[in-house]
Amino acid sequence: MKTRKSTRMKVMVIVAVVGVGLAYFSISDLRSGSASSRSESPNGSRLAYTSKLGHKPRVPAGASISDIISTIFGRYGGKGVISAAEGVPPDVPGLRRGAWLHFIVGVAAKDERVNRPEWESDLIEGAVADALAGSGRAVAGSTIDWKLPDGTILRAMGGGMGDILPGQTFSSATTDAIRAALAGELTKLGLRPLQIGVLHADQPAPAVIAETGDPLAAAAAAAADIRDLFGQDPPKYEGYYFEVRDLSGRPLFIQSASFRSGAGRLWISPTVSNAVTLNHG
Amino acid sequence: MRQGSHEPISVAFRRGCGRAKWRPLVAVVLAVSTIALVGVSSAHGFADRFGVFYLQEPCCGGDPLEGTGASIEGDALTPDKYFCILFRSDAENSNGTYAIQAGLARCGTNGTLDGTCSLSNNLIKFVEKVVASSFTCYPHGAASLFSEYDTWLADGSGTTWFAYINGTAYESSSFTGNLIDESGEHTSTDSCSGWSGHAVFADDGLWPWQRYVKATRTWTQIQASQHSHGCWTLNGGPPSPFDISH
């Protein structure tokens, strides 16, 4: 990363050489770098959510990417991802180097119900990225297609990949222990557990659906409750899904995280949007 | 993401946008409009959380708004405990249910952006997408204060917008854009106190604020825009660099 001073000097030189025509450029110019005065370090500023590094992915040594995806898809334990495979990156300049993943997820409709299956694909992507890192490879991005109940496929509705350090170590507690701990914590927080599942793309990632009789209070406590349940700095698990519903079964808010891919998702019902303590841009 | 809808840009802005021969007229109109707009930001649909320079279709001689880009230098991002401060480029559809953003973010010690961006009060580069009213954030590494980042969003093909930071392509989102902006945001809906932020936009000879037209594959320097200050203080404005601070 360059400092402002060095950037300015470079800009002055470039402007002197090429004149004032640089207000106009095409996207294709980015391929040659002629339109950018800065460039991204491929690994230098990647983030870790925990200082505990060194986790070894549970994949066979030397496995191909298709074998890695197949292994992780086969064990992760969710129902939302219909298929996971290596995909073709979009034809745009400037993409990071690395593999591209393609997911098809089943969605009930184009509404908040897309969050659960997309989170499941986030977990798979993160686990694949960690597994590939062992052989010096990376995941550059992904594409998520939505499959509606009538069979319609909506292309490229989601996907992405954060710049995350591989090898983060999270909880390896058993499914029973995680369920018991979360059920107890939910009760303390005044929430009634409806479902507590645990996925295993790599390490455990709980998926919690809870119910409240006081939507506004639950919305106001959302950020604190998530910190209590799943941790924040550092997170307890490699990911989580947290959905709170009212007594009629309508979702009030959904937040999910995948700390190996960096994907964080948030949906907030308009009925509690002024009370909820969760942030989006 | 903005809230509500926006009024159309005035005829004077449409004529002047991106054309050097209209600059004197635009300058006068901008000066006059600044006084008017500062007092009626809520009428444009932006909540107080936003300090924003924006263009909305129809504008710019009928050109579609298919890209936005500028340099962003964050000099201060000091959020309060539970919220976040963002400086970003942003593009949205007509009702804000689809959007894509790229920029800088820092959350307070007990805040996060969508659960994975800035969990430890750290300053990051980020891309956030809005798809069918659901938000997704991807962190793209640590950022530094007093460093410039080139952030831009472009609808490169079909209706697929890609987010770029310093020339690297990150996430994409498919929607028909209607509004572009360069903006600051404090994520609380109701607090103008207890936090501070400052960023300089487009203060780089290579990266003034520009808009993109896909059909001609041209980026055009923006000469004038609308704006809404909310809790923020805005200084300068296109075609000159601008500051967004609180």
Give the pLDDT band of residue B1 (cuts 50, 70, 90): low
Confidence of residue A26 (pLDDT cuts 50, 70, 90): low
Does residue B21 have a pLDDT over 90? no
ipTM over 0.95: no
pLDDT for A45: 84
Chain B nearest-CA distance from A179, in A, is 21
The band of B206, judged by pLDDT with boundaries at 50, 70 and 90, is: confident
Nearest CA of chain A to the CA of B134: how many Å?
Answer: 5
Contact check, Cβ <8 Å, B167/A35:
yes
Q: What is the mean pLDDT of residues A48-68?
A: 94
Distance from CA of A96 to the nearest CA of B (A): 7
pLDDT tens digits for B25-65?
Answer: 333 333 333 323 322 233 336 888 999 999 999 999 999 99
Query: A 107-136 residues with CB below 8 A of B?
Result: 110-112, 114-115, 118
Looking at residues A68-94, what average pLDDT do you find?
97
Tell me if B114 and A266 make a contact (CB, 8 A cut-off).
Answer: yes
Tokens of B51: 């300090």
CA distance A57 to chain B (A): 21
pLDDT given at position A40 = 55
Cα(A131)–Cα(A63) distance, rounded to whole angstroms?
9
pLDDT for A3 beyond 90: no
Contact check, Cβ <8 Å, B115/A257: yes
Q: What is the pLDDT of residues B179-191, one digit of tens each?
A: 999 999 999 877 8
Q: What's the pTM value of the predicted model, to 2 decimals? A: 0.87
Report how far apart, in Å, the C-alpha atoms of B184 and of each of B101, B126, B161 are: 11, 14, 21
pLDDT value for B158: 82
Q: Which residue has the higher pLDDT, A6 or A147?
A: A147
Name the token pair of A82. 């219909």
Name every residue whose Cβ is closer than 8 Å to that of residue B115 and which is 6 or more positions away in sequence: A226, A255, A256, A257, A264, A265, A266, A278, B137
Residue B193's Cβ-count burial label (10 Å; 0-12, 13-18, 19+) is exposed
Q: How far apart are CA B194 and CA A222, in angstroms?
A: 21
What confidence tier does A38 reach under pLDDT thresholds 50, 70, 90? low
pLDDT at B33: 34
What was the pLDDT predicted at A62? 85
Contact residues on chain B for A92, CB-CB shorter than 8 A: 156-157, 162, 169, 172
| Contact flag A38-B149 (C-beta cutoff 8 Å) | yes
> In the prediction, which pLDDT does A44 show?
55
Residues of B in contact with A38 (CB under 8 A): 148-150, 166-167
Q: What is the pLDDT of residues A87-117, one digit of tens each?
A: 999 999 999 999 999 999 999 999 999 999 9
pLDDT at B170: 98
- Encode pLDDT of A167-204 as tens digits: 999 999 999 999 999 999 999 999 999 999 999 999 99
Which of the pair, A19 or A65, is modelled with greater confidence?
A: A65
What pLDDT, on a 0 to 100 scale, did the predictor assign at position B47? 86
